[in-house]
Amino acid sequence: MSQSIVELKNVNIYQGDNLVLSDVSISINKGEFVYLVGKTGTGKSSLLKTMYGDLELKNGEGWVAGHELRKLTWKTVPFLRRNLGVVFQDFQLLTDRNVNNNLKFVLKATGWKDEKLMDEKIADVLDKVNLKTKGFKMPFELSGGEQQRVDIARALLNSPRLILADEPTGNLDPETSDEIMQLLFQIAKDYDTAIIMATHDYRVINKYPARTIKTESGKVWDNATVNH
């Protein structure tokens, strides 16, 4: 079990009472980069939400970053999420404060207390995403690509074992998308962090090939070939 960050066995995934995906079995190891593809409404988001502890796992077996999904309670979900980083398509940065304070907000929310340690951690993650000098900028002063980098920096704050990236290149031009992809692959390699990236961007998948999981017809297909 030690190498696998995500382990799902014979899992059924429900959205409310609707069965969205049946008999899902996947294993994702640390440091592995995996694409998650599938048409809207085929269960991609539900699969991510189950890993994130947002949707309850009702049957089958599931572990994410050492946490057993069936045993999660509202009290233990935060501990699971501290092992995860989540990157959204729409950045979800707080617009009323600068980059440093966006990141500090997350650290405080996850239990950090020491100002000096927080400042060091923030400097470290901004350096990793090549935004060392941008900590005092407000989100609106940054380009879309820079905002996405801040979002990735935020996901790195608690040294996650798994990053779930939901359409991280969705709003970006091709050149900026390439920069973000290179950054994500670098993070997987440098930190041994597993990354699951949900995407519709087949240009990116073709340019940066990796294992691909597809949701289709109520099933999850591993190592799917993507022809577009």
Give the global pTM: 0.91
CATH class in words for 1-83+160-228: alpha beta
pLDDT per residue over 76-124, tens digit each? 988 898 889 988 777 678 999 999 999 999 999 888 999 999 999 999 9
CA distance 96 to 111: 22
Q: Which one, of 180, 174, 115, lies nearest residue 153 by Cα?
A: 180
Tell me the two tokens of residue 218. Answer: 């109520």
What are the CA-CA distances from residue 162 to residues 31, 42, 154, 224 (Å)? 8, 23, 13, 21
pLDDT per residue over 182-213, tens digit each? 999 999 999 999 999 999 889 999 999 999 99
Percent above pLDDT 70 for the chain: 96
pLDDT of residue 90: 73
Domain ranges of the chain: 1-83+160-228, 93-155
pLDDT per residue over 24-75, tens digit each? 999 999 999 999 999 888 999 899 999 999 999 988 999 999 999 999 998 8
CA distance 77 to 154: 19
End-to-end CA separation in angstroms for the chain: 35
In the numeric block, the tokens 């798994």 are attached to: 162
pLDDT above 70 for 179? yes
Q: Which helix or strand (DSSP H or E) is residue 102 part of?
A: helix 99-109
Mean pLDDT of 1-15: 87
pLDDT of residue 225: 67
